[in-house]
Amino acid sequence: MNKVLALFAGILFSVHGFVVAQQQKISIIPAPKSVSMGSGHFELSAGTPIIAVSEDARKSAALFNQFLHARHGLTLKTSLIALPGKTIVLEESENFASEEGYSLEVETDKIIITGNKAGLFYGLQSLLQLIKNKDGSLQVPVLAIEDEPAFGYRGIMLDVSRHFFTTDQIKKMLDLMAYFKFNRMHWHLTEDQGWRLEIKKYPKLTQVSAWRDSTIIGQYYDFKPFIYDGKPHGGYYTQEEAKDIVRYAADRQITVIPEIELPGHSSAVLAAYPEFGSFEVKDGKALPGSIAAVNDKGEPHDNDLSQAVPGYWGVHYNIYGPTEKAYGFLEDVLTEVMDIFPSEYIHIGGDEVPKDHWMTSDIAQKVIKKEKLADEHELQSFFIRRIEKFLNKNGRKLIGWDEILEGGLAPNATVMSWRGEKGGIAAAKMGHDVIMTPNSHLYFDHYQAADKTTEPLAIGGFLPLEKVYSYSPVPDTLNVDERKYVLGVQANLWTEYIPTINKMEYFLFPRALALAEVAWMDREEKNFEEFSQERLPSRLKELEEMDVFYRIPEAQVQISKDEASGRHLVNIVPLVAQSKVYYTLDGHKADQTSNLYTGPFLAPIPGQDQDPLTLNYTVVTPKGRSSNQFSVEINRP
């Protein structure tokens, strides 16, 4: 950067953290740590070669080219040797201070990106986000960026068990994750409602456990008794497909962390292999023994032992037995899993395990006695420790949901804190690594508007963009030593109510862009206004061009008093670049037949005995997609 700084000494100005450029606005998400704007631009053309010597650099250059071609119809040549003239130079430098950091210098005749392997890749992602098409000319503003992430773990979890997504759909998600500098995809591969990974030793997992006959319609509480759609649902990834996803992600600097749930969330497995459950099996059927037919809330759960893969949601009672048979099965499965996934971490679930079956199972009670365990919680810890030993022996580390704290944490476990931050805080205080995924701020299956009737069906909750953005992964209650155990953050996309790719994209975007800044930026540098009003709009316009079905967010509506007229002045700024706003003030529906917003306007004042007016509006994107209808009360001036 010094070179560039010296070159433009008179005209450069530097802004730390977020970027306020006077001549040109840049809209990189997540915002780089420091940006110095110059003047002028570099113009990309077919004759601009990329100089990439190392293999990593060439790989990243090839991906850059793919994107450039898809977005702008341009493919650049790559060269192994330096060339005269305008060039883009990728300098892989193993002693670059930060593992994932990079520096990016743009001059009018040269672009230089320096960093380690991952850093180079991220430098190229930033470069892609800087390209502006001005009447057919692809321009990059002169500037200098120094950048590195705040957190090493920047993840998104995708549940493919409640609903199955194809490898092409997952690749599209990985492309988008890489573009916004995420580096972990947590792949939730097993659930009560479906098993999704081919395991050679246990063919019934894909023949039986991967399919359910039918799925409930509507929300869990909509119909009692449940109404089923009568359509089989399922699917799985062959080991080759899973390996292909692992490679595809690795090229984009993303590690795929597989999750194999235990001891609960195992109904689909036990439907095929009841012998791994907590009860004796006769003639291929589990014997319920003395099991209670109602749970502690008085709800019936006798269908748990029906040996069908369930098509309804909620916490299920099926649970592996603490038996050599079950451990053997799980170790066989994990052996094949480790062969597919090079990830240091293997996630073993551990969440939401009702202990009813163990309480009534002779097999489980015998183990509790023999091992002198206090209760079923300690039995769960005993179970998980055994699995941890197996993973550690094979050079892997165990991650589990925060319930693995109950009954005692396995010695080397990393905790994913989902029921708020409590579990994460407790684990960090015990010297265990933690990943923050609190359901208060990072559950992307939650609603995006307070008025649920305006939104597609979600599981519940309310998680607007701003709330995601406000999250800070390191709780204040941790001291300096304990803070280092917080490896980073992750959002979870549970898919009970997300059966389509459009819906998946709608729930992920734009919230994933807010999360990208939570994960990459220092807390003090984040600024929601600047993010949402200065940078988000052009990224959303671009996402539409990339065929991403993001949720069109509410516009920024400012209502201020106009002193001269005594009326309210209404100013509407949409958060999608070049979109249009249509509005009504009479309380009737706003759509593309309504008033086109062309600039701030004065609102009428209703009579004293009349209700205040409501502004209804809809945002229409450049490609013609309409947002939901949004409403804002205009109080009396």
**Residues contributing to the site for ligand TNX (CB under 6 A):** 351-352, 401, 418, 443, 445, 459, 494, 496
CB nearer to ligand TNX: pick between 67 and 220: 220
For 198, the 3-state DSSP assignment is coil
Q: Which two tokens stand for residue 576?
A: 């999608």
Closer of 275 and 352 to ligand TNX (Cβ)? 352
Do 193 and 162 contact (CB within 8 A), yes or no?
A: yes
CA–CA separation, 464 and 343 (whole Å): 32
Q: How far is the CB of 506 from ligand TNX (least distance, A)?
A: 16
In the complex, least distance from residue 250 CB atom to ligand TNX, rounded to whole angstroms = 26
Distance of closest approach, residue 459 Cβ to ligand TNX, in angstroms: 5
At 247, phi and psi to the nearest 5? -65, -45
How many Cα neighbours within 13 Å face the side chain of 34? 10
- Residues whose CB is less than 8 angstroms from the CB of residue 169 and which lie 6 or more positions away in sequence, other chains included: 501, 504
CA-based radius of gyration for the chain: 27
Quick one: 401 or 507, whose CB is closer to ligand TNX? Answer: 401
Cα separation, 374 vs 141, in Å, equals 65
| DSSP β-ladder status, 446-447 and 87-92 | unpaired
Instruction: Decide whether 352 or 378 has the Cβ nearer to ligand TNX.
Output: 352
Nearer to ligand TNX, 314 or 612 (CB): 314
- Give φ, ψ of 180 to 5 degrees: -105, 20
CB of 346 to ligand TNX, least distance (A): 16
Cβ atoms of 507 and 19 closer than 8 Å: no
Give the residue with the Cβ less far from ligand TNX, 351 or 591: 351
Q: DSSP string of 8-19?
A: TTTT-EEEESS-
Name the residue type at position 228.
Answer: Y
Tell me 115's DSSP state.
E
**Does residue 203 have a cis bond before it (omega within 30 degrees)?**
no
Q: Are 519 and 30 in contact (CB under 8 A)?
A: yes
- Provide the minimum distance between the beta carbon of 141 and ligand TNX in the complex, in angstroms, as a whole number: 42
Instruction: Considering the complex, state which of residue 461 and residue 600 has its C-beta at the smaller distance from ligand TNX.
Output: 461
Q: Which is nearer to ligand TNX, 251 or 352 (CB)?
A: 352
Q: Is 409 left (phi over 0), alpha (psi -120 to 50) or beta?
A: beta
The nearest distance, CB 504 to ligand TNX, in angstroms, is: 14
By beta-carbon proximity to ligand TNX, the closer residue of 164 and 582 is 164
Q: Which is nearer to ligand TNX, 388 or 445 (CB)?
A: 445
Could you tell me which residues are beta bridge partners of residue 138? Answer: 44, 133
Cβ pair 113, 89 in contact under 8 A: yes
Report the nearest approach of ligand TNX to the CB of residue 132 (Å). 39
Closer of 241 and 351 to ligand TNX (Cβ): 351
Closest approach, Cβ 422 to ligand TNX, in A, equals 14
Name the minimum Å distance from CB 222 to ligand TNX. Answer: 16
Closest approach, Cβ 352 to ligand TNX, in A, equals 5
Residue 73: CB partners within 8 Å, gap ≥ 6? Answer: none
Residue 143 or 508 having the CB closest to ligand TNX: 508
Smallest gap from Cβ 445 to ligand TNX, in A, equals 5
- Taking the C-alpha atoms of residue 490 and residue 485, their distance in angstroms, rounded to an integer, is 15
Q: How many angstroms separate the Cα of 187 from the Cα of each of 237, 305, 337, 424?
A: 12, 27, 12, 21
Q: In angstroms, rounded to a whole number, what is the distance separating the alpha carbons of residues 284 and 522?
A: 56
Q: DSSP string of 134-167? A: ETTEEEEEEEEEEE--S-SEEEEEEE-SSS---H
Nearest to 417 by CA among 447, 441, 389, 393: 441
Burial zone of 122 (CB within 10 Å; 0-12 exposed, 13-18 middle, 19+ buried): buried
CB of 121 to ligand TNX, least distance (A): 30
For residue 452, the minimal CB distance to ligand TNX (Å) is 15
Question: Closer CB to ligand TNX, residue 101 or residue 310?
Answer: 310
632 - beta bridge partners?
Answer: 615
